[in-house]
């Protein structure tokens, strides 16, 4: 059975115009669909328009033109239902330092008109591992804890879609993986996840599909698997018993990364050269290969190729 579209965006445009000075076309004819249950990643360099896009969904930035549908609701017709369907974790951390996590979640629930008996404050705090800090002032929380509190805040009205804007920017590695575990757990419970990040390895691990945004336009949109298939660069490391005599001109597409007495590291393009040709080249010099290890390129390669002018 086809999963339903939980997000449907058609020909979306946003131009920021500052009175007399020049205007910024931050989103250009963006088209996008996200399906129920997906983890969708929006990647892009700084200034690509990621936050603008998310703020439009959140209702804090007004689009210039185009159509946005969330959970079947049209943003122009049913803005309140749109807002009820999504939980936004913003890029900027702004929580009142003199409130406790418990207070903040209760206030947020009040804002959404959730009755006391229907609130799930305790459950949410457990989910983001802040149950022990529930009654501490938030100013005493670490950066990572504040981030998790923002995730918690986005969950109080049990939205079917959670949108996270660079949730791990400035968060240390351990807390990052902890936060992603939380997000994966939510996804397992059926919540659709839309996130932006500039940590490509995280996107690679987390996302079912990825859209790459550059200067307001989508330059690639595919499953993570298919995007990775586009990568042609391979890196190979040879442990050798003598220094290899080799240069960038020796073989097609080869690029010498380092060449030492006991080790040669090169990169090459899969579509231009086969590893067996490199092995043959080395063997012809009567050099023994003691070990070989290869490394596939990652999303970073695709990203750099697609976003450099």
Query: Which residues contact Mg ion (rule: CB under 5 A)?
Result: 50-51, 91
Which conformational region is residue 219 in: left (phi greater than 0), alpha (psi within -120 to 50 degrees), or beta?
A: alpha
Q: Which residues pair with 164 in a beta bridge?
A: 89, 195
Taking the complex as a whole, how short is the minimal distance between the CB of residue 167 and ligand ADP, in angstroms? 13
Is 275:236 a contact under the CB 8 Å cutoff?
Answer: yes
| Nearest by Cα to 89 from 180, 177, 3, 7 | 180
Given the complex with ligand ADP, which of 15 and 78 has the nearer CB atom? 15
* Widest pairwise Cα distance in the chain: 79
Taking CA 202 as the corner, what is the angle to CA 200 and CA 203, rounded to the nearest 5 degrees? 65
Taking the complex as a whole, how short is the minimal distance between the CB of residue 204 and ligand ADP, in angstroms? 19
d(CA 165, CA 39): 13
Given the complex with Mg ion, which of 15 and 91 has the nearer CB atom? 91
Count the neighbouring beta carbons within 10 Å of the beta carbon of residue 223: 12
Question: Backbone phi, then psi, for 162, in 5-degree steps?
Answer: -115, 130
Is 18:25 a contact under the CB 8 Å cutoff?
Answer: no
Please provide the DSSP assignment of 168-184 as one string.
TTT--HHHHHHHHHHHH
Taking the complex as a whole, how short is the minimal distance between the CB of residue 91 and ligand ADP, in angstroms? 7
Taking the complex as a whole, how short is the minimal distance between the CB of residue 174 and ligand ADP, in angstroms? 25
**Share of the chain residues as helix, strand and coil, in percent rounded to the nearest 5:** 35, 30, 35
Q: Find which of ligand ADP, Mg ion, none residue 182 binds, CB within 5 to 8 Å per kind.
A: none
Given the complex with Mg ion, which of 1 and 62 has the nearer CB atom? 62
Taking the complex as a whole, how short is the minimal distance between the CB of residue 51 and ligand ADP, in angstroms? 3
**Token code pair at residue 179:** 């936060």
Q: Find which of ligand ADP, Mg ion, none residue 120 binds, CB within 5 to 8 Å per kind.
A: none
Given the complex with ligand ADP, which of 188 and 308 has the nearer CB atom? 308
Q: Find which of Mg ion, ligand ADP, none residue 110 binds, CB within 5 to 8 Å per kind.
A: none
Given the complex with ligand ADP, which of 44 and 101 has the nearer CB atom? 44
The helix or strand, by DSSP H or E, that contains position 25, with its residue range, turns out to be strand 24-35
Given the complex with ligand ADP, which of 64 and 103 has the nearer CB atom? 64
246 burial type by CB count under 10 A (0-12 exposed, 13-18 middle, 19+ buried)? middle
Given the complex with ligand ADP, which of 47 and 110 has the nearer CB atom? 47
Q: Find which of Mg ion, ligand ADP, none residue 309 binds, CB within 5 to 8 Å per kind.
A: none
Taking the complex as a whole, how short is the minimal distance between the CB of residue 109 and Mg ion, in angstroms? 27
In the complex, the residues that contact ligand ADP under the rule CB under 6 A are 16, 24, 26, 44, 46-52
Taking the complex as a whole, how short is the minimal distance between the CB of residue 257 and ligand ADP, in angstroms? 31
């Amino acid at each position: 059975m086809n999963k339903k579209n939980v997000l449907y965006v058609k020909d979306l445009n946003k131009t920021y115009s500052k009175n007399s000075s020049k205007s910024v076309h931050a989103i250009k004819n963006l088209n996008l669909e996200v399906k129920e249950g997906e983890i969708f990643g929006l990647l892009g360099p700084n200034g690509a328009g990621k936050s603008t896009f998310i703020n439009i969904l959140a209702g804090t930035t007004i689009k210039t033109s185009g159509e946005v549908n969330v959970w079947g609701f049209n943003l122009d017709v049913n803005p309140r239902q749109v807002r009820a369907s999504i939980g936004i974790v913003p890029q900027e951390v702004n929580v009142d330092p003199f409130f406790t996590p418990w207070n903040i979640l209760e206030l947020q629930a009040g804002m959404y008109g959730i009755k006391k008996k229907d609130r799930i404050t305790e459950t949410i705090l457990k989910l983001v591992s802040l149950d022990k800090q529930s009654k501490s002032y938030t100013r005493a929380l670490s950066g990572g804890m504040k981030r998790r509190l923002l995730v918690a805040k986005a969950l109080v009205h049990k939205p079917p879609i959670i949108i996270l804007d660079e949730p791990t920017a400035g968060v240390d590695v351990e807390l990052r993986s902890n936060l992603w575990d939380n997000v994966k757990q939510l996804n397992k419970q059926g919540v659709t996840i839309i996130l932006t990040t500039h940590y490509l390895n995280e996107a690679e691990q987390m996302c079912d599909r990825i859209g790459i945004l550059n200067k307001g336009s989508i330059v690639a949109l595919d499953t993570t698997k298919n995007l990775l298939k586009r990568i042609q660069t391979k890196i190979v490391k040879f442990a050798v018993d003598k220094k290899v005599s080799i240069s960038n001109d020796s073989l097609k597409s080869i690029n010498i990364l380092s060449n030492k007495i006991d080790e040669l590291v090169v990169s090459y393009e899969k579509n231009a050269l086969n590893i067996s040709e490199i092995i043959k080249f080395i063997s012809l010099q009567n050099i023994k290969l003691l070990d070989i290890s290869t490394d596939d390129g990652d999303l970073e390669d695709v990203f750099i190729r697609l976003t450099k002018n």
